Structure 1
C-alpha cells in the first residue's frame, strides 16, 4: 500500500525529508506544503544577499548546478508534489487529516496522511515597543523582505540604518550595510554584550571592538523605547533609554520563536521554551507525526537541558534522520553541543559547548583560559593571530566549551570543529593538551593553538598560572589601580613608559634574572608580553623567588589590543 507523507514547511528540513525519502521509498506519495511561493532556500544567506556578496536572489534557491529549486524542479527531478501559497489550518490526528487553505482563493480542503512532518520553522519576534509596524521597519523574515530592503539601498535611499538586536543576524546585517553600501549603521543590544546567547564576554568584546573599528556604532546595555516618524518626512526616529537616533531604515533582529501554534492546537507536547518535544527519532508525542528544524527543542549534550537552535545544518541532518525512520529505518539524533560559526567583517568567530555564564547557570564551577597564537607556524608568511577561550569545570576538568576568533575564518572553524566533535564524549583538559592534529607550517604550529589552550587551562587549574582577563585589566588600569611589569623588548614598551611612567615597568625577559631587585615585592603586578607565554614564565620565576602577588594578563598585549584597539 502506498504510504502518504505530508510535509508542512518547505525551506530546509522539509525538502531534505522529501528528497531523502524519495530515494529510500520510490513509491511513497510525498506532498510538500508552504505558505510562500519561494521554497528550499538558504535563509542563512540573506545577510550576504543584502550585503552584495550574493548578487542574485535566485542564488539562494538554486542548486550547485544553478538549477532553480522551484515546484517544477521538485516535481520533475525529485518526484515530489509541491503546493505553494497554501497554509495548514489544523491537524485532525484521529483521522489523520490536515485542513489547508489556498491563500490565492481562500478555498479549503483536507489532505490525508499516513505520516506527517512538521517543518514549520520559527517566526521572528516582534518587540513590544511602539513603531515596529512602520514603513521601512524590516524583520528580514523572508526573501521578499530582503529583496525590498536591497532595492532601497540600490536606489540610494538608505544613508542611515539602525539594527535592533545584537545576535548573529543583527551583527551580520550591520556588516552587510556598512561594508559594501557605506551606510551609517548603529547596532543596539539590550544585554551587556553582543551575541549574548552565543558567545562569552571575552570573544564578544573582540567582536564589539571590531564592529566599531569598521565604523558600526555599537550601543550595548541599551533598551529601545519606541520607533516613530515625523509626519512631513520619511525619517524614522529610534528612541532608546539614553538617546534618539535618526534612521532611514530599521532592522528588527530581536530573535525568533518556534512556530508551533498548529502543533499546540493539535495537542502535541511542547517543551519549556515553546518548541516541540521530540524523541531521538525526531517523533513528536504522536508517533505518526515527526518534527525538526527551528520548531523543535534539542538536548544540549553538555548541560543536559533542552534548547532551541536555529541552524540549517541541524535541520538538514534531522531531515535525513526523519526520512530514514519514515522509510522503516532506525536513525537517531542524540542532540547538539551548539556548534556555531560566523563571519564579522575581517573576523571569523566560532563556538561549541557552553559559555562561561551558561556553564555557571547550569551548575558547573567554570574556569577559563585565553590564548593568543598564530594560526599557522609563526615563521610562515601571512599567518594571523588566533584567539581561543577554553572553558572547563574546575573539579572534574571536563571541557565545557570553546570559543575562538581570528582573521582566517577557516582556521577558526577548524579549531572549533576539532573540540566540538569531542565534547559529547566528556573530553577533559588533559585530552585537549594531547589532542592529535595535522601539522604543517602553512596550516598550524607544531604545538597547535588548541593544544596550547589546553596547556594554559591546565596551568591555571594546577595553580601555576594566576590570570586576569584583558578587559578587567584595562578597567583597573584606567582607574590607576595597577602597576604593569612588561617583559617585552624596550622598543615595544617605550610608548607605555612614556605615557604611564608611574604604572609601567619594563624589564625584558632576558634581563629579568639580573634585575630582580628592581621588582617591587609589596605591590600587585600585572604581567604582560606579546601573547602570554613570556609573562607566564615570568610569573613562574617570580613565584620561585617568593613574589606571588602577580597576575598574568590572558592572551597578552595582543588580546588587550583586540579587546580595546584604543588602548595605549
Structure 2
C-alpha cells in the first residue's frame, strides 16, 4: 500500500533515506523539508572549499555527474517533494502530523505522515562569548559559512586567524588558512592536546609538531574569555593567558545534536541531547525513525550510548532507514568511531578507543606504539608510519588503533583494516596474523599491522618493556638525575652525532656488539635503549636480560618516533 513519508532534514541522512525508500516504493510519496535554502551538501568538505582545494561551493552539493542537488533535481530525478526554508515546529504523534512554518513568510501548514524520519542533524556548540556577534566571527556549519569566510580571505582582509578548538574542524580550518593562504594561524584549545580523547598525548604531539612546522601556532590549557573588535569587526581574542590579534575567528568547539523537536514530541532523548534509536534506527515511536548527527547509537567497544557526527555514518544509516520504511528488517548495529583528519602532508586516523578513553570506560588496558616503513624498506618511495594499538590485558582484545603518517592511503588503509575487525572482539593474535595484499610498492612482507600485534604480544610476555616518546622525554629532560644510562644500539655513524652533542650522556654500543662490550654498560642504572625504530633496541633488551640486567627499557618507535614527536637529541 502506498504511504506518505515525511523527512525532516535535507543534508545527508534525510536525502539518502528518502531516495532509497523511493527506489523500493516508487508509488509512495515522500516530502522532505529543511529550514535552509541549500540541501544535500557535503558539509565535511567545507574546510577544503575555504582552502581552495574545492574551487566552487556548488561542488559541495552536486552529484558525481555534476547535477546540483536542488529541490528541482529531487523532484525531477527522484520524484521527491522538497520544501526548503521550512522549519518543523512540532510533531503530533497521535494524529501523525508535522506542523511546519516557512522561515521567511511565516506561513504555517500541516503535513500528515504514515512514517516520519528525523534527520535534524547537529548544530555548532555555542560558547556564548562576548563579541561572538562581531563581523569576522564564524561557526563552520553550512555552505553559507564557507562562502562568507572564503570571500573575506580572497578580498585580502585576513592576515591573522584564531581558531577555537583543536578537533577535526579546527585542525582542518587551520590547515586551510595556513597552507593555501599563508595566514598567521593560531589554535586555542582548552585541553592539553589536539584531538583530545581520540588519540594519545604522544600521537597528538606528533601531529601538533608537524602542524607547527607548517606555521600553525597552538596554545593549550587556555579558555577564550572574550572576542573584541572595532567598528563592528573582530580585531583580537582574549584568552585566560594572552591576547591574540585576529582578523577572523573560527569557533570549532564541537557540535550538539539537534533533538529538541524529538524531545518535545515525547521521544526518548539522551540527557545531553540526541535521539535514542534501536538497531533498526527506530525511535521509541515505531513509526518514527532517526539517524545521522541527531541520533545516539551504540558504541561497539563499550556497548554504551555513542554520538558520532559523520557524513559517512549518516549515509549508511540513511540506507538502513530507507529499507525499513519499505517494510524490510535492515539493521545498523553501531560504530567503533573510525576517523581520519588531514594535516598538511600527513594524516591522523583511528578507530575504537584511545588508551585514556579505554581506561575511563573501565578496561584494564595498555598500549604499544610502533614506527615502521609503510612498504618494503628497499622500495624507493617508502615512508615511516606510526601506529598505536590499545589492548585489554586479561583478554588480549584489541580496543582501538590510531595512526599517524603521510596523507596518502597507506595510513588510513591500515586503520580501516583493523576497524573492520573491532566489533568482532579481535585479539592481538588476529592482528598479528592478519592477511594483507603484499607487493613491495604497497607493503612490507611483515606488514606494520602484523608487527604491531607481535609487539603487543611481546609486551604481554614481558620480553619487550618499553615507553613511548613522551616517557623518554620525561627521562631525558630530567638532567639532574644520573640513574639513567641512555644507550644507542645503532651503528657508530648513526649514533656519533648524538654523542657529540651530548658528551658523557649519550652512549653507543651497537646491538650486535652487546655481549662483547657488557663491561661498558652499568648494572646499577636504568638502561634506556634507543635505535632507529625500536627493533634493534628490543633485541638488545633481550640480550641484556639474558646477561642479568634487571632494569632495561626500550623506547618504542625509536629515533623515528622521537623525531616526529619533535625531540632533538
Q: Which residue matches 2:207?
A: 207
- 8 Å Cα contact 2:118/2:290 also seen in 1: yes
Q: Which residue matches 2:396?
A: 397
Following superposition, the deviation at residue 289 of structure 1 comes to: 0.5
- 8 Å Cα contact 1:161/1:250 also seen in 2: yes
Q: Please identify, of 494-503 and 178-187, the stretch whose mean Cα deviation from structure 2 is larger.
A: 494-503
Q: Distance in 2 between matches of 1:171 and 1:428?
A: 32
Please give the secondary structure, in 2, of the residue aligned with 1:47: helix
Following superposition, the deviation at residue 205 of structure 1 comes to: 1.2
Please give the secondary structure, in 2, of the residue aligned with 1:510: helix
Q: What is the Cα-based RMSD across aligned positions, in Å?
A: 1.1
What's the CA shift string for 1:301-326, capped at 9, x where partnerless?
11111111011111011000001011
Please give the secondary structure, in 2, of the residue aligned with 1:352: strand
Q: Which residue matches 1:179?
A: 179
What's the CA shift string for 1:402-453, capped at 9, x where partnerless?
0011114301111111111111111111111111111110100000000000
- 1:408 and 1:379, CA in 2 relative to 1: closer, same or farther beyond 3 A? farther
Q: Please identify, of 255-264 and 472-481, the stretch whose mean Cα deviation from structure 2 is larger.
A: 472-481
Q: Distance in 2 between matches of 1:7 and 1:49?
A: 28
Q: Which residue matches 1:567?
A: 568
Q: Which residue matches 2:161?
A: 161
Q: Which residue matches 2:48?
A: 48
Q: Distance in 2 between matches of 1:272 and 1:364?
A: 25
- 8 Å Cα contact 1:235/1:246 also seen in 2: no
Please give the secondary structure, in 1, of the residue aligned with 2:275: coil
Q: Which residue matches 2:550?
A: 548
- 8 Å Cα contact 1:349/1:409 also seen in 2: no
Following superposition, the deviation at residue 469 of structure 1 comes to: 1.5
Q: Which residue matches 1:423?
A: 422
- 8 Å Cα contact 2:343/2:407 also seen in 1: no
- 8 Å Cα contact 1:126/1:132 also seen in 2: no
Q: Distance in 2 between matches of 1:200 and 1:22?
A: 44
Q: Distance in 2 between matches of 1:131 and 1:125?
A: 16
Following superposition, the deviation at residue 272 of structure 1 comes to: 4.2
Q: Distance in 2 between matches of 1:39 and 1:298?
A: 24
Give me the TM-score of the superposition, normalised by structure 1.
0.98
Q: Distance in 1 between matches of 2:440 and 2:77?
A: 45
Following superposition, the deviation at residue 30 of structure 1 comes to: 0.3
List structure 1 segments (4+ residues) > 4 angstroms apart after TM superposition. Answer: none
Q: Which residue matches 2:60?
A: 60
Please give the secondary structure, in 2, of the residue aligned with 1:141: coil
- 8 Å Cα contact 1:167/1:197 also seen in 2: no
Q: Distance in 1 between matches of 2:395 and 2:256?
A: 35
Q: Which residue matches 1:28?
A: 28
Q: Distance in 2 between matches of 1:365 and 1:353?
A: 15
What's the CA shift string for 1:125-150, capped at 9, x where partnerless?
11133222221100011110110100
- Map 1:71-470 to 2 at 5 A: 71-230=71-230, 234-470=233-469
Q: Distance in 2 between matches of 1:509 and 1:234?
A: 62
Give me the TM-score of the superposition, normalised by structure 2.
0.98
Q: Distance in 2 between matches of 1:51 and 1:487?
A: 44
What's the CA shift string for 1:303-350, capped at 9, x where partnerless?
111111011111011000001011010000000011111211111221
Following superposition, the deviation at residue 454 of structure 1 comes to: 0.4
Give the count of matched residue pairs.
566
Please give the secondary structure, in 2, of the residue aligned with 1:187: strand
Q: Which residue matches 2:522?
A: 520
- 8 Å Cα contact 2:42/2:60 also seen in 1: yes
Following superposition, the deviation at residue 507 of structure 1 comes to: 1.0
Please give the secondary structure, in 2, of the residue aligned with 1:516: helix
Q: Distance in 1 between matches of 2:197 and 2:524?
A: 41
Q: Which residue matches 1:11?
A: 11
Following superposition, the deviation at residue 548 of structure 1 comes to: 2.2
- 8 Å Cα contact 1:489/1:508 also seen in 2: yes
Following superposition, the deviation at residue 508 of structure 1 comes to: 1.5
Q: Which runs of 5+ in 1 are unaligned?
A: none
What's the CA shift string for 1:381-419, capped at 9, x where partnerless?
111101000010111111000001111430111111111
Please give the secondary structure, in 2, of the residue aligned with 1:514: helix
Q: Which runs of 5+ in 2 are unaligned?
A: none
Please give the secondary structure, in 2, of the residue aligned with 1:73: helix
Q: Distance in 2 between matches of 1:178 and 1:199?
A: 23
Following superposition, the deviation at residue 513 of structure 1 comes to: 2.1
Match of 2:497 among 495, 498, 514: 495
Following superposition, the deviation at residue 198 of structure 1 comes to: 2.2
Following superposition, the deviation at residue 235 of structure 1 comes to: 4.7
Following superposition, the deviation at residue 60 of structure 1 comes to: 0.3
What's the CA shift string for 1:148-183, capped at 9, x where partnerless?
100010011100000000000000000000000000
What's the CA shift string for 1:71-101, capped at 9, x where partnerless?
1110001111111111110111100111101
Q: Distance in 2 between matches of 1:79 and 1:358?
A: 45
Q: Distance in 2 between matches of 1:46 and 1:129?
A: 24
Q: Distance in 2 between matches of 1:437 and 1:496?
A: 37
Q: Distance in 2 between matches of 1:272 and 1:517?
A: 64
- 8 Å Cα contact 1:273/1:308 also seen in 2: no
